[in-house]
Structure 1
Amino acid sequence: MTDSLDLLVLGNAIVDVIARTDEAFLAGQGVPKGAMALIDEARAEALFAAMGPATIVSGGSGANTVVGAALLGAKTGFVGKVRDDELGGLFRHDLKATGVRFDVPAATEGPATARCFVLVTPDGERTMNTYLGACQGLSPADLDTNLVASARVVYLEGYLWDPPAAKDAFRKAVTIAHGAGHAVALTLSDAFCVGRYRDEFLALIREGSIDILFANIGELQSLYQTDDPEQAIKALRDERDGRGLHLLGLVTRSADGAMVVKGGEIRSVAASPVGAVVDTTGAGDLFAAGFLAGHARGLDHVASARLGALAAAEVIQHIGARPQGDLVMLAKAQGLL
């Protein structure tokens, strides 16, 4: 019998290659600052050769979220695809070392384990170039039905909404989770994703496949095609599925904190204070981690969002998208747990 999970994440299994840089390097490489672009293996090799000294750590948006939730005490699992190469082994080791269940077998042929080249400018802004590699091999066959059905929340990474087999895996996970009476969450991941799949994301929401939506304000504006952030929030507030039900929306606004949108109501949550912003990579991922860990503990939506803000604040004060401090200790010190 499969033990129950608080959270199961379906996402891209990616290793981050992080380097400090400046605007001149970005311009010289023809890379738009702050954007996320998909690249092929040849471009990945050329970019790596041109970069300065780099830190190599396991990453991936959904994987960052599942690790953060595990470090806050949630019982978690991950579904994603790596190759049986050195980076794939590193990714698996790092996930399991934090207590995350990761049982999907590595691919034995095909593209290498995915890599994301994260270029961090002095203002803390990150620019990402991603080679998806083995990530794109995820399919419905990689889902353990009992494991999916055991999870109180199944969390879907928008970045993975591209390969047809991965979409099929998402839809299978939704069917299993809802059949077990559990919730499904979606993160929009990036305005780049929303621009490509706006109609499909809206269809998922309006058909009732999604119960919890995570987005930053730029992604939400892209979803509703408005330049007005307040109008985007109101559109989410008024959103209903085919049964007439509201979904729960969590919208991050950088230094302006976050918004909890549920049942026609909008609640504000302040950002946690930070010393200096070093690297914004993973801020949204860790906000989702904190929220979902709070949700697993039975906290209300606003209290869970405050825990999310704390986790996001921790991760932007150092290089890398995984926490380095003791999140439970920090949360207890601030009376959040």
Structure 2
Amino acid sequence: MSQHVYDVIGVGNAIVDVIASCDDAFLTEQNIEKGAMTLIDEARARELYAAMAPGKEVSGGSAANTLAGIASFGGRGAYIGKVSGDELGEIFRHDLNAAGVDYKTAPLVDGPLTARCLINVTPDAQRSMSTFLGASVFFSEEDIDADKIAAARITYLEGYLFDRDEAKEAFVKAAEIAKAANRLTSLTLSDSFCVDRHRAAFRQLVRNHVDILFANEAELVSLYEADSFDAALDAVKAETRIAAITRSEKGAVLIDRGDTLAIPAEPVSQIVDTTGAGDLFAAGMLTGLAKGLDLETAGRLGAIAAAEIISHIGARPNINLKDLAESKGIDLSG
């Protein structure tokens, strides 16, 4: 199956998101670091879930959100990630396939429960994530579908999955398969704390295997332990072909073979929940690149998708992103 079948295939943590509103006092009471992602164990997951306000449960995970966004843009996507054979695992599988993403990874047998991310959203739209990784981290080279990787124009790797050595080896395997098939490999750094844990390994992966890097400003500065954003930009220019660095209301900075391009943030009437903003920026940009659009247009698609996602609760689009893009003059029919 070496012919092109997919625009993008994602590899990531298969997680069910539980999203609830809270105030800053709740974060303090529960010892939750505001705006960060903190890993928790199963006991803490049960305790925090019981303390949270009534929430919305939706299939999530960073790369899975990105693939759902790509499908909403009309792109063809597939996903590789591990769930357990429990109720939440079946919900995750159904939701992703129903969104138009090909997901068939075999479930984990005789292991922990399906992963879940408990997301508390404060009135300033900051999301604070407490994540039980469960079955999602039991991911290895055996789960990499070589035929699907070779059939995708871009393979998208989620940094959150990078904690175990087996996952690191799986990332390299996926990148090598993509390269052999003359495809591209992309990586999202996911979180500054994730970068802090795996800086040297991330740097090696970026230098040797990554064609397209996604990060926010803090993650990029952390990756290169730079004194400033400009210094971090200079460092990444030397290590990867394309980089997309999001900067919240400042928009994004794109790097293409050393050249720099600024993409303004798309206007939004009200910021409700920033969950998934980076995931959906990646969805827009990857869609544009997979369809052969120029980098500026691809970046604009990212900004459009990010603006849509922060205007409501949840990390999956509420409207058809292809229709939204076309209403703004971007043709995605090719």
TM bucket by the smaller chain? over 0.9
Contact 2:7 2:291 in 1 (8 A): no
TM-score, with structure 1 as normaliser: 0.96
Bigger CA drift: 223-232 or 20-29?
223-232
> In the alignment, what sits opposite 2:184?
183
* Paired AA for residue 205 in structure 1: V
RMSD: 1.1
Letter in 2 for 1:253: R
Check the 8 A contact 1:306/1:336 in 2, yes or no. no
Partner of 1:225: 225
Pairs within 5 Å for 1:60-209: 60-206=61-207, 208-209=208-209
The alpha carbon displacement at 1:146 in A equals 1.0
TM-score, with normalisation over the residues of structure 2? 0.97
Cα offset for 1:227? Answer: 4.2
Query: Is 1:251 the equivalent of 2:252?
Result: no
Alignment of 1:246-285 (within 5 A): 246-285=240-279
What is the rounded CA distance, in whole Å, between the counterparts of 1:191 and 1:17 in structure 2?
Answer: 22
- Give runs of aligned pairs for residues 44-55 of structure 1, distance below 5 A: 44-55=45-56
Q: CA deviation at 1:231?
A: 2.1
Given that 2:35 and 2:126 are in contact with CA atoms closer than 8 Å, whether structure 1 keeps it comes out as yes
Question: For 2:149, what is the secondary structure of its paired residue?
Answer: helix
SS at match of 2:129: strand
5 Å-filtered alignment, 1:306-321, equals 306-321=300-315
The one-letter code matched in structure 2 to 1:162 is: D
Instruction: Name stretches of at least 5 consecutive residues in structure 2 with no aligned partner.
Output: none
Distance 1:156 1:198 in 2: 16
- For 1:227 and 1:22, locate their aligned partners in 2 and report how far apart those are by CA, in whole Å: 33
Asked if residue 292 in structure 1 is aligned to residue 293 in structure 2, the reply is no
Contact 1:284 / 1:312 at 8 angstroms: preserved in 2?
yes
Question: How far does residue 226 in structure 1 lie from its aligned partner after superposition?
Answer: 2.5
Q: Which secondary structure does the structure 2 equivalent of 1:101 belong to? A: strand
| Cα contact 1:116–1:129 (8 A) shared by 2 | yes
Contact 2:172–2:205 (CA under 8 A) maintained in structure 1: no
Letter paired with 1:233: L
- What per-residue deviation string (whole Å, max 9, x for no partner) do you get for residues 54-110 of structure 1? 110010000000110111111110000000111001100110001101111112321
The match for 2:328 is 334
Equivalent in the alignment of 1:325: 319
Identity %, equivalent residues: 52
Q: CA deviation at 1:176?
A: 0.6
User: Residue 12 of structure 2 contacts residue 63 of structure 2 at CA under 8 Å; is this kept in 1?
Assistant: yes
Structure 1 gap ranges (5+):
241-245
Poorly superposed stretches of 4+, deviation over 6 Å? none
